[in-house]
Every structure is written in C-alpha cells, then in structure tokens.
Chain A
C-alpha cells in the first residue's frame, strides 16, 4: 500500500490546520507543526558513559502522558553504537524525523518518530558529514527550514579549532551547501554554535562557542590552560536568510550560545546568553533599521562563572528560563521589557543542570543535566537525570525524576517532544492537541 493510500485510510489524523501559535516547543523552527496541548513523549538524546550499562549513545523515550501506566517512565531506549558526544537534536519541518548529532564523531542519526511516536526507529545514519561538508566537524544545531535542515558545525577537520560553518542538507539526507562563518571584519572570529531564523525579517542569527579541542577536553584542564581559554568565540553573526550571506558581525564577548527569537509579530529581537561572561544579550532591530547587540543583564554572579547554558523563551515573550550549569539552578527572568530583564525566580534543580524545555503553555518544564561528557561534574556531583516540574506561575513543583545513572542510561542531554496527535495515529490514547503552525 502506498504512503498516500495509507494516509487516506488512516483512522485518525489530528494534524489540524490552525492559526500558528507560539511557544520548546518555543525553541523550534517557527513554521513547523507544534504540540500545543499535552505532549505524549519526551525524546532524550543521551550520551553513553563508559562502564555504565551498554556504554553507548542512545535515544531514550520517556512516556509523559499523565494518564498512562508508564507516566514518567522510560519506555524505550535505542542504542546507536559508540560514544559520539551526543549533543543536540532537531526535527524536520514536517516533524516526521528527529536528527540527532554527535559533536565528536560528527555522525548524524536520523530517527523516524512518526511511524510510531512511542517507539522511535533509527531510519538512517549520516557518517560522512565531515567529508561532504568540506571539513566541518561537530554538527550541533539541527534547525528546520522548508524541506531542509540547517546544521551548525562547531569545529573543522584542519585543526579542531573553533572556525566552522553552517551546513545544509535536504530532509532526505542529501548534502546541499556549506556556508563558512566569516573571519574577516571587525569582531569576526569564524566561530559557530547555534542558529535560529526570523523569516519575517529575512534574518538568520548565529552564535559562537569553541572548537573540538576545547569542548572535548576535561573542563578543569581547560580552565587552567590560558591558550585553550583564548580559543573561544566572542561573536554573533546576522545573515541574510535568503542569500545565506553574512550581513553584520556583533562583538558579544564570552561565548554567546543559544539563540531565541521573540515570537510577537512586532518583536524584532532575539536573546542569547554568554556562557563565560554570564550575561543576557539582546540582538535587536532599531527604529533606524539598524541591527544592534546589547548586553542587558547579568546572570547570577558572573565572578563565580555560573555558566548559563540553555535558555527557553515563553510563548508570550514575557519570560525567559535560564539554566546555570555550575550551581544547577534554573532562573526565570521577566523580559517584558527585553532591554531590562529582571530575575524573578530561581530554583536549584540538581548539582548540575543543562537543558530546559517547556511545553507550549509553559505549564510543564523539563530539565536535563549533561553539558558535555568531559565537562560534567565528577564523582558524586555527577547528577544525570530528566526532571519534570509543573510551573504554576509562581513556583516550580517537582513531578517526577528519571535517574539516568540508576537506570544505566548515561548522560541526559537534549529533550524533544513527541505526540501521537501530530501523525494521527490510531493508537493515540492521550488527550492531545496539535496544530500545524506553518
């Protein structure tokens, strides 16, 4: 039976066409289908730990349907072989596939999450990314554009330093193009980290990190090495989205990492946080038509290197979650005035915390722990978990924890949501709500 006729005969198809809504779901490409109700599954891209369980990277599926017998439990693990420094993952624009990268081996694992959202399947592995891309190492962000994936690299195969590029693939896994981050001009250092786009303004924004040599080595060893600490990115680049040409480089000292555009139709700005200097930065289009970048707030006490890592913007652009790795704390900023963010809440999540993913409505906030294998805390402080909290507008209430050490899984890194409702599965048992925000 062909795919179409299968689709036509499917009992349920709940992918309803509706007004694009907003929300980590809030960090996704703005024009893919979103889960606006209760998500059914959280897919956790997990690093293997040598000597723990099978020691290899895996996609861990957690059932998060509140009425399920396996609520808050791991219902599937899918090992992919090797420790690839599993890091980030991203969905294709039709949300049928999850691309997950290893920033050490530069392998990309493409998971089918639509045939059975409860049981992801490894569809294919791209293991020639470096060769195809002309030397880009460390596929990091996987960001959906129409029919294609925009991938940021973190390093290169000439020196394992931080000069890198954006790489495009089709959804079917065919290499398209490589765009190197500029090294010429004031502040341009060629480093790369995250990418997010704002099609309304034909804008693409990239940030900067450090190369393979640094992100693979022991964190303490790096701190003590002045040469290594000099090899970090201090820039962001605004690109013409359509032509893929750099338009302006901003000096943003201390490794600006995650980029989040505001969602409001008149909100012409994006946030980032700098890892080493512990600042919130705003990139904004001003009334005179000029793009600028401004430091707008401290995150914790920068002198203690709290190390802000992931950020998550709320659907209505008024709140921003910021995780600080070193003190394991989630911090909520009021960004109603984006030029004057104010921290209004904080909670210690564990001895370390890295990623934060919130549901469309902001009521559920998931946290995971692993930053990078050799950067995570050592010994007893090496918490590895996924925790769900409920946010009631005033505080986070703990719902459950999956202990990734006790379950012999590994280091919990990035989380993405899945839902039956996106694919109209007849097996759907949850109260789901989905929207095609195209």
Chain B
C-alpha cells in the first residue's frame, strides 16, 4: 500500500523553543489537555508520600559514556554526576511535543526551584540534561538553551555528545529508544519519537527511579531526592540472617538419639546411621523444588511444616502440572517409626520410599533415577555435600534416599499433655474431658484396637490395614445431583451435576491395599495412621474427606460404611455427644509442643528454586 494511503493521526504542538523558553508558567496553570490522566506539571491530585517513608530500590548501575558538558567541559557522564544525587533528563531542543521535552524541562525547572529553596538538598543534588540530537544540539546550542531555562541557583548541567554514534550507546544503556518521525507523506518531520524518561541516580551511580510523562511531578521527585539523602545519612546496621538461622536450627540428631517422652527408641538405620551432615543435607533436599521435573515440586510442597507436615488446604494432593493424586498427604511427624509406608503400605523403608513420589508422573514427575541423580550432580550448591555426608560417595540412588530419610527420622514429636500425664505422672497435664476421652479411646469406643497404646510407649498405630468403608463408598457412590460449593466465607451455592461434570476429569479408582496384593479381601484397606499431633494434620482419612476430628469421631460412631470386607472392628458405637467431645479433647491432647521447633528448624533450609 502506498504510504500516502496511510491514515495517520498527529497532533504536533507549538514550536519547541517557544514552549521551553519559559515553560513553567505556561504549563503550571493550564489544565491538562484532552483526556490526559496525569496532572503532569500542574497541580498534584494527591498528597505524595513523605520523604523517607518509603524505599527506592536500585534498578541497576547508571551507565557512563562520553559526553560534552557545555560549561565545565567534562567528558564523561559519571564525571558530570560527581558525588551528587542526580536527576538526568534526555531531551532535544527541537522537540515540538508539549508533553515531551518541554514538559520534562518544565518539571525540571520546578525541581530546580525546590532545590533553590532547600540549601541542604541543593548542595547535594544536581540536575543533568543531555541531548539525544547532537547534530542540531551542538555545545553552543545547549549552552544557550541552558542559560535560558536553568534556575539561577540550582546546580543544573547541560550536555550533548559529539555525534549520533557517541550518544547511541548511552541511549541503549538507559533503554531510551529514539526514532525519526515522518509525516503522512513519508517526509521527515524533524521530530524524534521517544518515550519521555527522567532518571533518578544516587551518589553510587545507581538508578533509583524512572519517571515518564504520567509519573513526572516535581514535588514527588524532590521528595525522592530527600528520601535518598535520608537513606545516605542513616547508619543502618546490616541484618545478620545467619545468626537467626543458627538459633532456629534444632539438634535433630540429639532428638533421634533420645526421642521425646512417650516415644520408643528410634529404629536406627544401617549404612552408617544418622549424622548431622546427613540430616542437614536431607533438610536441604526436602525443600528443593528442583527435585521435580519442572522445578515446581519439593517434598515440602505437600508436607508443609506449618501445616503439620501435610497440607490443610486440600483433601488429596496435587502433583506436577496440577495432576491429581488420589490420596491425602500423610504427616511426616514421627514417620521414622513407621514399619510400612504409603496409605496402602506398599513400601517398607524411608530410603526406598522417596523414589515413589520422585518418579510418579503425577507427583514430582521425574523421568528416571538417573535424571534425578544427574541433575543433583550438576547443581553447584550441592557440590561436595553428598561426599562429606557419605564418606566420599556422591549423589546416588542410595545416598539420596539416605539423606532424605535422615532428615525425616529427626522429625520426632512427643511430650504431649497426654504423654506427661500418662508416662510422667503429671496429674495436671491432662484435662478432665481428655481423661474421659482416653478412657473411651481404650475402652468402649475401641479406638485403641488399631491405634495402639501400651504402658511403655504410644505410637497410636498397629501398622496394620483396615477397611472402614470410606474407600468403598468413594468407589461405589454416584455423584450427587447437585454439588454444594463454597463461593465465599459463609456463602454456598448448589451447582448442578452437569456443570461440575463439564470441568471434571473422571475420578480415578482407588482400591487401597488390593492394588498391591491383588487379593479381593484387601479391597479398600488402608494403613492405620498414628494419631500423634492429629489436631495439626487436618483434613483426615486416606482421602482427606473428613474436615475435623469431630467428623472422624462421628464417622466411627456411625459404624463406618457397610460393605463386604468392612473391618469387624468398625461397628456402630453408642456414644453421647458429650462422649464424642471427650474423644476429641483427648485427640487434641496428643499435640507436641516440640512441633514449633521442628517448623522453625525446617525453615532454616533455603528453598531450592531454579536459579
């Protein structure tokens, strides 16, 4: 299409030098033209934040370059800056856009006036105006331009360059794009299209702010200068994060050697046992999201320390790329005692267990053992750590498992109110309701038949597998005709099944232990979890389908869900509401005060992210 056919819309305003000869009065009182949003050089529609009440983080170094200071003859931009705070504006004197260079000059003049009125500021701040049109803006032109525009008592320098080639690298470095403008007939208009930019630069020659038309207010810019002055004058002691980290770190090895009250001796791993190096390495690995295929999933994304080393915000886990995991993330507190792992008990040792989630396509998504090992071997922040922890052995299938297992074995939490009452004879440690609850737990409610307690120890699990009917129900039930959905706090809507179905994947089957043994008698059997710290690990059951401890108690009071292989231990219970509350009180008394220290310890580990 011929150029003349273009529809172009231009609004070229005034002659530049006329506009800038005395720009402040012209722009200070006139309303902003058209639908301009910013009051620009005129009145401010808001109270700017007070100097020093905010931070101006550095945007990087302000580049140097060859220039010509039209007064002093300085030859480098940095020499022009000196040790001052600097406001740097790029202009060209032929600019005809009232919202371009004339505007920036008007605002610079206003800043200059503020400097004149504030000797403390003016002695340490400098305005610098650099032309990006060296062909027309010769040193003589810029000198004359400066004489006409500058405030008498403000430190305002004007500069140009020897040639377009000399200014180009400076414009590049300041990301200031400039292009020739053409009219509708393709003829140069003499104008240069550019984005108006003014830069705030500190005494260390770092860019601290960038202003453009809509963000160009003298009052704000002067406050920014004052903010940098206050910052320079403040003697801020650097924080010492290392010390805080050292205080927060727990001695997990000591914990493992002498488990807290109520816990039995910890089964000690072979292969050199636990060491601090291994625990520390395991902690680091546990929080490393790079251990997943795409750098998003660490162990800790599903076993969140602050959420009882499980996840409160979800019933069943979500893995890489949001893929559905069928079961609830179990807590890792006291996992070192577990004889069998996973809800279906398919694994026996922590050292081996880790490869389940690492390689599952819906969890951490790694394609192979080798891919994980090779990735670890290539991460600079792991250099030497495996070798130091494992007698010279580097990252490998075994050492990775050992390291992660070492950390998890240190996550011991006992010494609950129940423990102090039951094992240390502290009569006041357990409240009345909880004591009644314990009597029910070990008596009529028959909870302890699976959640075992002895006189010497209490792990509250038989390490067995049982069918409560919950899994059966999920396999056999049809979706409800309407789904009650919480849309805001206290607000629910009943959504038709078709609507929910349109955005739902088919629910994956889950047959529990049967999937491991292929024995029909094992359908819907799941492992008995420990109940220690159970108040910290909602939601409950293998599928996270019960939100509260009371929901769980009510489920068992109701006798579970009838089915062919329902565990005979699960039968309806004749309990009053008060007795159900007592059971909940007892369960809540299984919370260990030491968990907080484990959470603090966990957060001493840096979270591993792609870097």
Contacts and interface: CB of A to CB of B under 8 A. Distances in A.
B322 A242 contact: no
Interface stretch (A153-161, A330-338, A399-407): A153-161
B499 A146 contact: no
A227 B180 CA distance: 58
A300 interface: no
Nearest to A159: B304
A348 interface: no
B312 interface: yes
B538 to A, nearest CB: 8
Given A5-B165, A17-B10, A263 B314 contact: no
Nearest to A107: B610
B29 interface: no
B280 to A, nearest CB: 20
A77 interface: no
Interface stretch (B169-177, B258-266, B351-359): B169-177
A220 B488 contact: no
Interface in A193-244: 198-203, 211-221, 223-232, 234, 240, 242-244
Contacts of B505: 218, 220-221, 374, 378
Given A106-B296, A214-B313, 15 more contacts: A7-B177, A10-B179, A16-B8, A30-B37, A105-B295, A105-B296, A200-B39, A305-B487, A374-B505, A375-B503, A424-B182, A431-B7, A435-B9, A438-B196, A438-B213
A344 interface: no
A106 B304 CA distance: 20
A230 B60 contact: no
Contacts, number: 338
A277 B489 CA distance: 11
B164 interface: yes
Interface string B485-523: 111110101111001111111010000000000000000
Interface residues of A, number: 121
A118 to B, nearest CB: 15
Interface stretch (A165-173, A362-370, A390-398, A410-418): A165-173
Contacts of A305: 485, 487, 493, 495, 499
21 contacts: A13-B180, A14-B182, A158-B607, A159-B307, A160-B301, A199-B37, A199-B215, A200-B39, A213-B314, A216-B321, A217-B322, A219-B503, A224-B500, A225-B316, A226-B547, A227-B539, A228-B314, A242-B220, A245-B54, A263-B35, A431-B7
Interface of B: 1, 3, 5-12, 32-39, 45-46, 48-49, 53-55, 57-60, 97, 99-100, 132, 164-165, 167-169, 171-172, 175, 177-182, 186, 191, 193, 195-197, 210-215, 220, 289, 294-296, 301, 304, 306-307, 311-316, 318, 321-322, 324, 483, 485-489, 491, 493-496, 499-505, 507, 538-539, 544, 547, 607, 609-611
A373 B607 CA distance: 26
Contacts of A37: 7, 9
A421 B304 CA distance: 51
A196 to B, nearest CB: 12
B549 to A, nearest CB: 14
B168 A146 contact: no
Contacts of B37: 20, 30-31, 198-200, 263, 265
Interface in A227-272: 227-232, 234, 240, 242-245, 253-254, 263-265
A7 B210 contact: no
A174 B172 contact: no
A233 to B, nearest CB: 10
A188 interface: no
4 shortest interchain CB distances as A-B pairs: A220-B504, A216-B322, A147-B210, A243-B54
Contacts of A302: 487, 493
A170 B321 contact: no
A17 B11 CA distance: 6
A296 interface: no
A10 B295 CA distance: 44
B105 to A, nearest CB: 15
Contacts of B38: 31, 199-200
A146 B215 contact: yes
A226 B486 contact: yes
Contacts of B316: 221, 225
Given A94-B175, A94-B195, A220-B500, A16 B9 contact: yes
A25 B113 CA distance: 38
A276 B6 contact: no
Given A67-B1, A159-B306, A228 B296 contact: no
